[in-house]
Structure 1
Amino acid sequence: MVRHQPEGLEQLQAQTKFTRKELQSLYRGFKNECPSGLVDEETFKSIYSQFLPQGDATTYAHFLFNAFDMDRNGSIRFEDFVIGLSVLLRGSVTEKLRWAFNLYDINKDGYITREEMLAIMKSIYDMMGRYTFPCVKDDAAFEHVEQFFQKMDRNRDGVVTIDEFIETCQKDENIMSSMQLFENVI
């Protein structure tokens, strides 16, 4: 079995907004779930699905895995995980928005298309489960994507660039308040 040794704590501390103690705690949890020091996609899906038992988190977990798998080698190293987590939990608004853009840009071409956005939205609705209240209509994901593109695709070229994404999100109060939700969770 391939084992991965993470970079030194000092280097990770410099790259993240976590303290030494927090990094040690995160590493213990990571190693407990993934003794090899690497997480493959199936393990990631399994772990992630435990948090959302009411729906099917498989597809969303796939997209999330790809956002964390920075070097695209099919596994997440502790460093990848902790750097992404640092951005999500303690990053600036712009850093969080860049991370979110990366999640939605499935093929990593620098643009979000309607198809990419729809794939992500459908996976989110699947993850929420059929038994959410109020009930989610079948065409809700499509409607959500259409609203998203109305706001974001400023030049009407059918794709959303990182600049369009960040600028629009920063002007939207609902998006901005949801970005603040997870700060300092750990």
Structure 2
Amino acid sequence: MYVIPPQTLTDSTEDDFELSTVCHRPEGLDKLQEQTKFTKKELQVLYRGFKNECPSGVVNEETFKLIYSQFFPQGDSSMYAHFLFEAFDTNKNGSVSFEDFVMGLSIILRGSINDRLNWAFNLYDLNKDGCITKEEMMDIMKSIYDMMGKYTYPSMQEDAPREHVENFFQKMDRNNDGVVTIEEFIESCQKDENIMQSMQLFDNVI
């Protein structure tokens, strides 16, 4: 752990970086502290790491994939990173700012159970139509297995993602209509201890 220089987010200058694009300046530190569950010190550490990887103050999808691939070199994380990027890109403008990043991270790491479940549902609901289909869940599961790497877990069979999806829908799809709504998702997760533990494992992937 390095010592953080005693300046705030707004004190940092862009002069250190020769950029061809206009830099994005984050919200004031105090405002971000109010909007998230991070302390000022934590926000400073997060910001310096973010600026180190993304000097312009925003990250596009390709850069996001590149950064994420460094954490999972044994597999192909590009598809999962794509889904994750879309979940962080709340403004749907093709870029993730520091504000977007810490708001999402705050929910994932410090949010209430309900907040975390809503965030997870949004991640799984790929077309954002308010329900999760088997096809969407299959895409997510495949991306997770690809990211973890087939050689990391040699006992995993090719049909493992499909079995996971079938188990997911058997527990979640209460009215058996082929889709999982946000209400079904939250109710099922809160009542099933195994699902909650499984969700926590996927949180660690993030």
The TM-score range, normalised by the shorter chain, is over 0.9
The worse-fitting range, judged by mean Cα deviation, of 26-35 and 166-175 is 166-175
Structure 2 counterparts to residues 121-160 of structure 1, below 5 A: 121-160=141-180
With normalisation by structure 2, the TM-score equals 0.85
Distance 2:55 2:64 in 1: 13
Question: Shift of residue 156 of structure 1?
Answer: 1.2
Say yes or no: does 1:2 pair with 2:22.
Answer: yes
Q: Among residues 28, 42, 48, which one is paired with 2:62 in the alignment?
A: 42
Distance 1:30 1:166 in 2: 32
Q: Among residues 5, 27, 33, which one is paired with 2:53 in the alignment?
A: 33
Flag structure 2 segments of 5+ consecutive residues without an equivalent: 1-20
Distance 1:127 1:23 in 2: 28
Distance 2:117 2:57 in 1: 28
- In the alignment, residue 145 of structure 1 is paired with which amino acid? V
- In the alignment, residue 13 of structure 1 is paired with which amino acid? Q
Q: Residue 16 of structure 2 aligns with which residue?
A: none
**Could you give the per-residue CA deviations for residues 40-63 of structure 1, whole angstroms, max 9, x where no partner exists?**
000000000100111100000000
Distance 2:59 2:100 in 1: 10
- In the alignment, residue 173 of structure 1 is paired with which amino acid? E
SS of residue in 2 equivalent to 1:17 = coil
Distance 1:127 1:24 in 2: 30
**Could you give the per-residue CA deviations for residues 134-162 of structure 1, whole angstroms, max 9, x where no partner exists?**
52111111111111111111111111111
In 2, are the aligned partners of 1:69 and 1:75 still within 8 Å (CA)?
yes
- In the alignment, residue 69 of structure 1 is paired with which amino acid? D
With normalisation by structure 1, the TM-score equals 0.94
Structure number with bigger Rg: 2
In 2, are the aligned partners of 1:88 and 1:182 still within 8 Å (CA)?
no
Structure 2 counterparts to residues 45-64 of structure 1, below 5 A: 45-64=65-84
Relative CO higher for 1 or 2, CA cutoff 8 Å, sep ≥ 6? 1
Q: Residue 17 of structure 1 aligns with which residue?
A: 37
Q: Residue 177 of structure 1 aligns with which residue?
A: 197
Alignment length (residue pairs): 183
Taking only the aligned residue pairs, the percentage that are identical comes to 74
SS of residue in 2 equivalent to 1:76 = strand
- In the alignment, residue 70 of structure 1 is paired with which amino acid? T
* Cα RMSD (Å): 1.5
* CA gap 1:15/1:182 in 2 versus in 1, 3 angstroms: farther
Question: Shift of residue 181 of structure 1?
Answer: 6.6
